[in-house]
């Protein structure tokens, strides 16, 4: 760690607003030991940063292996192309992967996420088998591939092994193309305990349930019983598609979030991914349980999922983090932009995610909320540029055309809404520079390995 490293930022996002002349110091744990605004000039011992500084965001939901087919599922081969058709193609890619290929794909994905301003990633990990070996619940090679990719690139990583045991509400098992995802509650617990026991500085464990359609009530309860004494985050896909809601109603008489609430399963550890098709009663139940949601706007648009009621979530006080999910977008600025713009399109209003009495800027509202919610989704202690939080930061390029001539107080608005913007000039994770002057030292090697992996994965066409 860069213990004692001191930097000076001309302006930095601290405590929910811009401050000027900010001095930040890193401790021996890679956390901020001091954050002090008001220095008009950099102290002698401080490294002068080149532009506006923001804390890094957590990518609260993603599947690294899906980077292998970002942009490659955009052709229509049947009368109706929807989420379910996309899923069939995703299964084919998943079956072609092995640990070496996953590592190559994940490393490229992680380099790109860092360049896009994500300093930590929550990996919703259900890829356990694949090409050349059978799914074994105690085979950790896929997890190790992800960990090695994170270590090579410098990104923080929370791995959430996924409970995945059936193909639908009325099924007793998995379809052949899903067998490589199989993991029961005891297996999830063993996987998470192992990740936690490795004690990697930037790698931690979480827990995940794929969805209500993929896990029985008994198995969900069993996993929660095993996890009763830990505060690890719990992630779950929920209500992403209208068909899922309809199937849940048919099987249980309740909507997915309604079922979770009435079973008294939700608490502050839960992070509901997508939650696209939820009604006001369900939103209020999530708020009452102090749970959170993870919205992935670029993926939800790409898959035709629909739009959740963001203003209702905000009004209810439910924390919102963002995720890259299928990896077609790997920059948090794009996710925040579409989180707001999607609402503008359906409501025919502007500034939907802002409230004049609290936040006048949608970008600032969503960014500040995403800081805390994302850190909770990753199981991190503290968030943002504050004492005790991990020393992660982003430096914007002051020569970015999107920022030229702007009043300093409007920098975050421009970074989100005045696209395109440059990649981040510098990126720090846990007090270590992983990108300097736009360069990641592992980027070229990661790209070479990714290209080689893609040749293997796509040797046979997928339709």
| 221 Cβ contact partners less than 8 Å away, ≥ 6 residues apart | 265
| 31 Cβ contact partners less than 8 Å away, ≥ 6 residues apart | 382, 387, 388, 389, 390, 391, 430, 431
Q: Give CA separation, 333 vs 94, 149, 167, in Å.
A: 28, 24, 35
Q: Do 150 and 110 touch, CB atoms closer than 8 A?
A: yes
Q: Which residues does residue 430 pair with via DSSP β-bridges, in sequence order?
A: none
Q: What is the distance between the alpha carbons of residues 94 and 131, in angstroms, rounded to a whole number?
A: 8
325 is catalytic: yes
With 0-12 / 13-18 / 19 or more C-beta atoms within 10 angstroms meaning exposed / middle / buried, residue 179 is: middle
- The whole-angstrom distance between residue 310's C-alpha and the CA centroid of its chain comes to 17
Q: What is the distance between the alpha carbons of residues 193 and 445, in angstroms, rounded to a whole number?
A: 32
Q: Do 187 and 161 touch, CB atoms closer than 8 A?
A: yes
Q: Do 180 and 129 touch, CB atoms closer than 8 A?
A: yes
Q: What is the distance between the alpha carbons of residues 157 and 222, in angstroms, rounded to a whole number?
A: 26
Round to the nearest angstrom and report the end-to-end CA distance of the chain: 47
- The whole-angstrom distance between residue 372's C-alpha and the CA centroid of its chain comes to 13
Q: What is the distance between the alpha carbons of residues 462 and 2, in angstroms, rounded to a whole number?
A: 46
Catalytic residue among 120, 237, 271, 274: 274
Work out whether strand 57-62 and strand 118-125 pair parallel, antiparallel, or are unpaired.
parallel
Q: What is the distance between the alpha carbons of residues 38 and 444, in angstroms, rounded to a whole number?
A: 39
Q: Which residues does residue 9 pair with via DSSP β-bridges, in sequence order?
A: 22
Neighbour-count burial for 106-139, b at 16+ CB within 10 Å, e otherwise: bbbbbbbbbbbbbbbbbbbbbbbbbeeeebeeee
Catalytic residue among 325, 392, 397, 426: 325
With 0-12 / 13-18 / 19 or more C-beta atoms within 10 angstroms meaning exposed / middle / buried, residue 275 is: buried
274 is catalytic: yes
Which residues are designated catalytic?
Answer: 274, 325
């Amino acid at each position: 760690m860069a213990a004692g490293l001191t930097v000076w930022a001309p302006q930095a996002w601290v405590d929910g607003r811009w401050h000027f002349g900010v001095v930040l110091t890193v401790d021996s744990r890679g956390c901020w030991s001091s954050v002090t605004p008001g220095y008009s000039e950099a102290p002698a011992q401080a490294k002068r940063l080149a532009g506006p500084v923001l804390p890094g965001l957590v990518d609260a939901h993603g599947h690294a292996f899906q980077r292998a087919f970002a942009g490659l599922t955009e052709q229509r081969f049947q009368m109706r192309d929807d989420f379910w058709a996309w899923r069939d193609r995703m299964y084919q890619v998943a079956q072609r992967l092995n640990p070496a290929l996953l590592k190559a794909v994940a490393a490229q994905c992680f380099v790109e996420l860092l360049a896009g301003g994500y300093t930590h990633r929550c990996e919703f990990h259900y890829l356990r088998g694949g090409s050349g070996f059978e799914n074994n619940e105690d085979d950790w090679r896929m997890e190790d591939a992800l960990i090695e990719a994170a270590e090579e690139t410098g990104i923080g990583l929370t791995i959430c092994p996924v409970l995945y045991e059936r193909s639908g509400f009325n099924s007793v098992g998995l379809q052949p193309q899903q067998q490589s995802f199989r993991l029961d509650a005891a297996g999830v617990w063993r996987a998470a305990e192992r990740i936690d026991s490795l004690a990697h500085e930037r790698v931690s464990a979480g827990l995940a349930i794929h969805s209500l359609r993929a896990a029985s009530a008994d198995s969900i309860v069993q996993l929660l019983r095993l996890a009763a004494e830990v505060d690890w985050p719990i992630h779950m896909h929920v209500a992403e598609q209208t068909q899922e809601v309809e199937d849940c109603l048919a099987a249980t008489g309740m909507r997915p979030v309604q079922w979770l609430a009435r079973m008294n399963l939700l608490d502050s550890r839960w992070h509901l991914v997508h939650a696209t098709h939820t009604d006001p009663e369900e939103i209020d139940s999530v708020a009452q349980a102090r749970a959170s949601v993870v919205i992935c706007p670029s993926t939800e648009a790409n898959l035709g999922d629909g739009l959740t009621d963001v203003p209702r979530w905000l009004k209810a006080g439910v924390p919102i983090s963002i995720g890259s999910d299928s990896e077609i977008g790997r920059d948090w600025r794009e996710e925040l932009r579409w989180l707001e713009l999607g609402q503008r399109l359906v409501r025919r209003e502007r500034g939907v995610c802002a409230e004049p009495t609290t936040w006048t800027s949608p970008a600032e509202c969503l960014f500040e909320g995403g800081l805390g919610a994302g850190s909770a989704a990753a199981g991190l202690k503290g968030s943002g540029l504050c004492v005790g939080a991990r020393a992660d930061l982003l430096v914007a390029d002051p020569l970015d055309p999107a920022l030229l001539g702007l009043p300093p107080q409007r920098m975050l608005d421009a970074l989100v809404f005045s696209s395109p913007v440059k990649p981040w000039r510098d990126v720090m994770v846990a007090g270590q520079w992983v990108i300097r002057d736009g360069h990641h030292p592992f980027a070229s090697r990661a790209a070479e390995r990714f290209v080689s992996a893609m040749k293997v994965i796509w040797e046979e066409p997928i339709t």
